[in-house]
């Protein structure tokens, strides 16, 4: 069911990762993505993997949740891995018809699959340990300089907050409307593409109507709570770059150094 | 007690400003009422009688076409005081799902005070106090969509309470809830009225909720039909039935017995009162 | 004859995960043709899961649902035809309206059944009249109707499929007393005229007391009672323990009975209570 999606969910907790400044976390995620993509050999990759695994333990989020978020895109990981398997240059180790597997192909496959997997784990870690409001709040503050170009950062962040808040509500509503139309004999699961798209109309129109009604109510509720845009607004949670963020920064720099050293001094793999 | 809300000859139409409509249809027709500070008023009437419109007028979400509304002596049509009025008179809507802005309970409750530009440490305090007042403090880190209807509605109430209003206007806050949720919301509202001295205007269809108020105002077709203490209002069984409104079964039973020539001292409003009355009557007659 | 019968019907949410939750646990219920059965139970007691299993929207984890003696999942591909025979009106059904006109919206169900135009038209008109919708509303957009009318239009959409069993999940939720009275009267009348089976799920004991002949009480996923309404309501204490409330009038009368007065239990209407008390009180001043 639609409700079972774990990717992008927030799991409240009190781990050191939960307590990191969300702005720092976004920057760390960007750093980790960079690490993942500059790894040139297995040692560097192992180092980044070890770093991410250490963070997974530090997050105190059950391993199961990471696996669940992986499950959703396992197909993509395997698919790209397998495609890459046949994409290497050099002498074939195995040849099946026109498909050949080379050493470079195997390396490619492992690298691509691991990189995507690590990427997913790292981004899940961010959303698992950061509340959506913190996340949008951090994005708002990180992007604040763009306000110079008359980009309405506060409005964009507010829209993100509300979108995140209403995703589960609307998913639940979609489930309900689909059931209601099925009870009226709607056939949503068979037929060709055109037939299926047509069959969705009785689901989409009520969904839009209700979304508009909700938007109207929400606007009223926000006005009742004295919302008047971003100016003059304060925030309950002050974001502070603390000791813990500083240590995080140090560790990241160390890992970055490690990755670079591995890349320089250890042999690169055949790609 | 002083008059906290003063409604003077108010009329309202959604199409009054539309020049194409010669005779706009008025939802509220020359209505006047006063509500005292700390009072708990229940507003009854069937759909389309103008209750919800009145609720929106009370916190300056809409303005009267004719007449004036004063909150603490301040005219709601003064544009400069709109936000003062909205934080003094908080409005809670029917569907709790559509009122919650943030994905975490405490962050949602903080939304109002944040809009008012209050100091972060003070917001924290207000959020904690508000969540404790509605008995939802233990759920402060939860996601609203995982809560029950009654819990969500209490969070919505906390969101208003955190702005420290003097009055709460609740527009059918229990209509979408199950009996348990209704009880939770009602006891929260009563507690806020009793312990925090907050003036309550409760719009409802449920008679068992209305009987708990200090005063019941019945509206019909944009006018006030009757207003008085619950016992006075619900004694008028005929009138209420004629206007297709419910009467508590306890009251109706006694009304029917009265009609058959039995006398009782006082019209009962709930089952306990009714049983006491019946016991007295049975003892007297045997 | 039993039109609906369940045998050890169970449904488990999230089977095999740590969040596993039994929504229905070995339900064995029989519903006779032409009955009006009320289903009560607090939120999470398994009412909604049960009714969705009865029309094949949810497949049971184990156990069988029989419609007219036949297992509804015997031919899984034919499950749509079961939904035409067991019509289910969801909570807040007005959220399913989507067509340009009320008439077209009511025609959606019959259209899915593959009926011809003439038959569809006939059914739409009859369903609209059962639901108490005036003719002139049929050409309006469903979104321009009042709250109560929208609700009835959506119910008409299910009635138009002419189901043998009509299930309504909380049909009066959120309506005002006048809207509620009109709707309950329409449903009762429909049941009387069509003589088919109606199942009404509600939180409101008053609604159920006014309409149903028999009552199914759900508690923690199990069928706690299935009996005539009088018998069910005379077990007020047990109901209250399950977090359910009997109608005020029933409570008053059973309290008097407990105090030793000679009144029957399971009194459901104010009229009946007044009659009982009248004879108990002896003569009023008008009787002399």
C38 in contact with B, Cβ within 8 Å = no
User: Could you read off the pLDDT of C37-95 as tens digits, one per residue?
Assistant: 999 998 889 999 999 999 999 999 999 999 999 999 998 888 999 999 999 999 999 99
Per the listing, tokens 């402060």 go with B140
Chain A segment 118-157 residues within 8 A of B by beta carbon are 131-133
Token pair recorded at residue A187: 């056939």
* CA distances from residue C102 to A174, A236, C95, C105, C123 in whole angstroms, order as listed: 22, 49, 13, 5, 13
User: Could you read off the pLDDT of B215-232 as tens digits, one per residue?
Assistant: 999 999 999 999 999 999
* CA distances from residue A50 to A18, A44, A47, C32, C43 in whole angstroms, order as listed: 20, 10, 5, 65, 47
Q: Is residue C116 part of a domain?
A: no
User: Could you read off the pLDDT of C212-222 as tens digits, one per residue?
Assistant: 999 999 999 99
Q: What's the domain count of chain C?
A: 1
Q: What is the mean pLDDT of chain A?
A: 84
Q: Please list every residue in chain A whose beta carbon sits closer than 8 Å to the beta carbon of residue B107.
A: 131, 133, 236-237
With cut-offs at 50, 70 and 90, classify the pLDDT of residue C286: low
- d(CA C74, nearest CA chain B) in Å: 36
User: Could you give the 3-state DSSP secondary structure of residue B171?
Assistant: strand
CB contact under 8 A, A185 and C84: yes
**Greater model confidence, C211 or A41:** C211
CB contact under 8 A, A131 and B103: yes
* CA distances from residue B250 to A201, B143, B277, C70, C247 in whole angstroms, order as listed: 49, 41, 10, 47, 10
Check residue C72 and report its DSSP letter: T
With cut-offs at 50, 70 and 90, classify the pLDDT of residue A271: low
Q: Please list every residue in chain A whose beta carbon sits closer than 8 Å to the beta carbon of residue B159.
A: 225
Give the nearest chain C residue to B263 (CA atoms).
Answer: C284
CB contact under 8 A, B47 and C179: yes
Token pair recorded at residue B94: 């029917």
8 A C-beta contact, residue B230 and residue B213: yes
Q: What is the pLDDT of residue A1?
A: 44
User: Could you give the 3-state DSSP secondary structure of residue C86?
Assistant: strand
8 A C-beta contact, residue B31 and residue B204: no
With cut-offs at 50, 70 and 90, classify the pLDDT of residue A61: confident
Domain boundaries, position C276: 247-288
CB contact under 8 A, B205 and C176: yes
Q: What is the dihedral of CA B232, B236, B240, B245, to 10 degrees?
A: 60
Stretch (H or E) spanning A201? helix A193-224
Question: Which residues does A101 contact at the CB level (< 8 Å), separation at least 6?
Answer: A85, A86, A88, A92, A93, A94, A95
With cut-offs at 50, 70 and 90, classify the pLDDT of residue A5: low
- Using CB atoms, which residue from C42, C177, C281 is nearest to B244? C177
Q: Which of A57-61, C143-147, C194-198 has the lowest mean pLDDT?
A: A57-61
If you average pLDDT over residues A238-257, what whole number do you get?
83
SS (H, E, C) C144-208: HCCHHHHHHHHHHHHHCCCCCEEEEECCCCCCCHHHHHHHHHHHHHHHHHHCCEEEEECCCHHHH
- Separation CA C195–CA C217 (nearest Å): 23
Q: How many CB pairs under 8 A join A and C?
A: 56
Predicted confidence (pLDDT) at residue B123 exceeds the cutoff of 50: yes
Q: pTM surpassing 0.90?
A: no
pLDDT above 70 covers what percent of chain A? 96
With cut-offs at 50, 70 and 90, classify the pLDDT of residue B1: low
Per the listing, tokens 């993942």 go with A36
CB contact under 8 A, B127 and A236: yes
The interface predicted TM-score (ipTM) is 0.90
Architecture of domain B3-247: 3-Layer(aba) Sandwich (3.40)
Best CA proximity match to C81, nearest among C90, C94, C68, C95: C68
- Using CB atoms, which residue from C174, C248, C286 is nearest to B271? C248
Q: Please list every residue in chain C whose beta carbon sits closer than 8 Å to the beta carbon of residue A186.
A: 112
- Separation CA B6–CA B264 (nearest Å): 37
If you average pLDDT over residues B11-28, what whole number do you get?
80
Predicted confidence (pLDDT) at residue A7 exceeds the cutoff of 60: no
Check residue C90 and report its DSSP letter: P
Interfacial residues of A (vs C; Cβ cutoff 8 Å): 173, 176-177, 179-187, 201-202, 205-206, 209-210
Query: Which region holds residue A186: left if phi is over 0, alpha if psi is between -120 and 50, else beta?
Result: beta
Phi and psi, residue A87, nearest 5°: -110, 15
Question: Which residues does A263 contact at the CB level (< 8 Å), separation at least 6?
Answer: A38, A39, A40, A41, A44
User: Could you read off the pLDDT of B169-192 as tens digits, one per residue?
Assistant: 999 999 999 888 999 999 999 999
User: Could you give the 3-state DSSP secondary structure of residue A157?
Assistant: helix
If you average pLDDT over residues A29-35, what whole number do you get?
86
- Separation CA B212–CA B230 (nearest Å): 8
Q: Please list every residue in chain A whose beta carbon sits closer than 8 Å to the beta carbon of residue B93.
A: 217, 220-221, 224
- 10 Å CB burial of residue B199 (0-12, 13-18, 19+) is buried
With cut-offs at 50, 70 and 90, classify the pLDDT of residue B11: very high
Give the nearest chain A residue to B140 (CA atoms).
Answer: A12
The residue of C48, C252, C257 whose CB has the most chain B CBs within 10 angstroms, and thus the best one to mutate to test that interface, is C252
User: Could you give the 3-state DSSP secondary structure of residue A32?
Assistant: helix
- Using CB atoms, which residue from A183, A186, A202 is nearest to C90? A183
CB contact under 8 A, A234 and B124: no
| Nearest-5° Cα angle at C233, C232 to C238 | 75
Query: Sign of torsion, CA A94 A98 A99 A103?
Result: positive
Q: Please list every residue in chain C whose beta carbon sits closer than 8 Å to the beta carbon of residue A201.
A: 98
CB contact under 8 A, C83 and A181: no
pLDDT above 90 covers what percent of chain B? 76
What residue segments make up the domains of chain A, in order of their start? 2-160+236-265
CB contact under 8 A, A218 and B111: no
- Separation CA C63–CA B25 (nearest Å): 58
């Amino acid at each position: 069911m639609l409700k079972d999606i774990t990717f992008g969910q927030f799991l409240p907790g009190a781990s050191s990762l939960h307590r990191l400044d969300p702005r720092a976390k976004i920057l760390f995620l960007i750093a980790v993505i960079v690490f993942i993509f500059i790894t040139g050999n297995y040692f560097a990759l192992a180092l980044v993997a070890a770093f991410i695994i250490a963070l997974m333990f530090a997050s105190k989020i059950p391993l199961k949740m990471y696996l669940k978020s992986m499950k959703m895109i396992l197909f993509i990981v395997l698919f790209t891995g397998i495609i890459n398997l046949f994409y290497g240059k050099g002498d074939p180790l195995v040849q099946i018809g026109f498909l050949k597997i080379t050493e470079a192909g195997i390396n490619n496959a492992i690298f691509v699959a691991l990189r995507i997997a690590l990427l997913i784990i790292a981004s899940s870690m961010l959303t698992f340990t950061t509340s959506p409001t913190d996340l949008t709040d951090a994005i708002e503050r990180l992007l604040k300089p763009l306000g110079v170009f008359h980009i309405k950062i506060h409005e964009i962040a507010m829209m993100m907050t509300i979108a995140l808040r209403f995703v589960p509500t609307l998913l639940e509503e979609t489930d309900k409307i689909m059931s209601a139309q099925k009870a009226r004999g709607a056939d949503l699961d068979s037929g060709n593409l055109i037939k299926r798209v047509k069959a969705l109309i009785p689901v989409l129109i009520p969904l839009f109507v209700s979304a508009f009604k909700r938007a109207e109510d929400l606007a009223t509720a926000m006005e009742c709570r004295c919302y008047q845009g971003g100016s003059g607004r304060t925030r309950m949670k002050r974001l502070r770059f603390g000791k813990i963020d500083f240590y995080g920064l140090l560790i990241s720099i160390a890992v970055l150094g490690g990755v670079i050293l591995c890349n320089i001094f250890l042999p690169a793999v055949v790609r | 007690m002083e008059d906290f809300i003063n409604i003077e000859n108010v009329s309202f139409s959604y199409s009054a400003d539309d020049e194409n409509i010669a005779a706009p249809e008025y939802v509220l027709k020359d209505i006047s009422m006063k509500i005292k500070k700390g009072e708990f008023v229940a507003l009854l009437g069937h759909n389309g009688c103008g209750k919800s419109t009145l609720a929106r007028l009370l916190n300056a979400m809409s303005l009267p076409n004719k007449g004036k509304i004063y909150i603490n002596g301040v005219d709601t049509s003064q544009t400069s005081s709109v936000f003062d009025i909205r934080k003094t008179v908080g409005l809670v809507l029917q569907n709790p799902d559509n009122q919650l802005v943030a994905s975490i309970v405490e962050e949602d409750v903080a939304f109002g005070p944040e809009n008012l530009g209050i100091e972060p440490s003070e917001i924290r305090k207000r959020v904690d106090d508000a969540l404790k007042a509605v008995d939802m403090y233990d759920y402060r880190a939860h996601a609203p969509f995982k809560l029950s209807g009654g819990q969500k509605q209490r969070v919505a109430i906390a969101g208003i309470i955190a702005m420290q209003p003097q009055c709460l206007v609740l527009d059918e806050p229990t209509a979408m809830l199950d009996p348990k949720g209704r009880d939770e919301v009602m006891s929260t509202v009563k507690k806020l009225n009793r312990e925090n001295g907050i003036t309550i205007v409760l719009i409802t269809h449920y008679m068992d909720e209305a009987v708990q108020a200090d005063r019941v105002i019945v509206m019909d077709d944009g006018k006030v039909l009757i207003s008085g203490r619950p016992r006075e209002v619900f004694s008028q069984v005929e009138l209420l039935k004629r206007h297709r409104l419910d009467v508590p079964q306890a009251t109706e039973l006694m009304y029917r017995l009265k009609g058959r020539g039995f006398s009782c001292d006082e019209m009962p409003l709930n089952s306990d009162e009714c049983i006491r009355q019946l016991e007295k009557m049975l003892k007297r007659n045997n | 004859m039993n039109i609906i019968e369940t045998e050890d019907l169970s449904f488990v949410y999230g089977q095999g995960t740590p969040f596993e939750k039994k929504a229905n646990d070995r339900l064995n219920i029989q519903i006779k043709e032409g009955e009006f059965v009320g289903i009560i139970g607090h939120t999470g007691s398994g009412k909604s899961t049960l009714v969705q299993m009865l029309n094949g929207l949810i497949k049971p984890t184990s156990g069988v649902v029989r419609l007219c003696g036949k297992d509804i999942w015997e031919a899984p591909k034919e499950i749509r035809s079961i939904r035409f025979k067991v019509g289910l009106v969801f909570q807040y059904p007005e959220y399913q309206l989507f067509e340009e006109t009320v008439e077209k919206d009511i025609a959606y169900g019959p259209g899915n059944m593959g009926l011809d135009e003439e038959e569809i038209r006939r059914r739409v008109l009859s369903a609209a009249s059962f639901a108490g919708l005036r003719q002139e509303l049929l050409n309006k957009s469903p979104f321009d109707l009042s709250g109560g009318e929208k609700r009835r239009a959506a119910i008409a959409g299910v009635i138009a499929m002419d189901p043998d069993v009509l299930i309504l999940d909380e049909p009066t939720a959120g309506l005002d007393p006048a809207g509620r009275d009109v709707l309950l009267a329409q449903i009762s009348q429909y049941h009387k005229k069509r003589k088919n089976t109606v199942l009404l799920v509600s939180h409101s004991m008053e609604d159920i007391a006014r309409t149903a002949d028999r009552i199914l009480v759900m508690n923690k996923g199990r069928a706690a009672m299935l009996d005539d309404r009088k018998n069910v309501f005379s077990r007020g204490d047990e109901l209250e323990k399950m977090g359910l409330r009997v109608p005020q009038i029933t409570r008053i009368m059973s309290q008097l009975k407990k105090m030793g007065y000679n009144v029957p239990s399971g009194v459901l209407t104010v009229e009946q209570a007044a009659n009982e008390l009248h004879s108990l009180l002896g003569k009023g001043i008008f009787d002399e």
